[in-house]
Amino acid sequence: MFSHIRLGQVACVSLILALSATGCGSDGPERGVVTGKVTLNGDPLPGADVEFQPEEGSPSYAMTDDKGRYDLMYTRDKRGAMVGEHTVRIVTPTTGTDTQGNEIRVPQQVPPKYNAGSKLTREVKSGKNKFDFELTNP
């Protein structure tokens, strides 16, 4: 019986060490705080969705404010993005509401090279990261 308890303790310690080594735990993977500003043709881009998708793992999201500023969230209550290389996608809403309250289609303001076909990449590091995006739409 004594050896059974020790074996269980060793297994538990091994599991804890394995989770620590992979950067996972109660707070999730290692993250860096990510903020910045998005402009389109030199003007702030309000209401745009910003997505940072890591090579592996969960993405982080933000919506730009009236001045084009964003602050990424990993989950609803955890700021930042996973440490590592990310593909960045930026889109604007394609639906809106007219003066009568009816839903209407609105053209995408951001060219596909910054969203569906994005080649934008950024490396998130531990600590604070500031990434500004100066987008152009010919």
Q: Are β-strands 31-40 and 127-130 bridged in parallel, bridged antiparallel, or unpaired?
A: parallel
Distance CA 107, CA 96 (A): 10
Helical (H) or strand (E) element with 2:
helix 2-21
The pLDDT of residue 28 is 85
The percentage of the chain sitting over the pLDDT mark of 70, rounded to a whole number, equals: 81
Which one has a higher pLDDT value, 75 or 14? 75
Determine the pLDDT at residue 9.
43
User: Measured between alpha carbons, how far is 83 from 88 in angstroms, rounded to an integer?
Assistant: 14
> Over 50: is that where the pLDDT of 59 sits?
yes
List, in order of start, the domains of the chain with CATH numbers.
29-135 (2.60.40.10)
Q: What is the pTM of this model?
A: 0.78
- Residue 55 one-letter amino acid: E
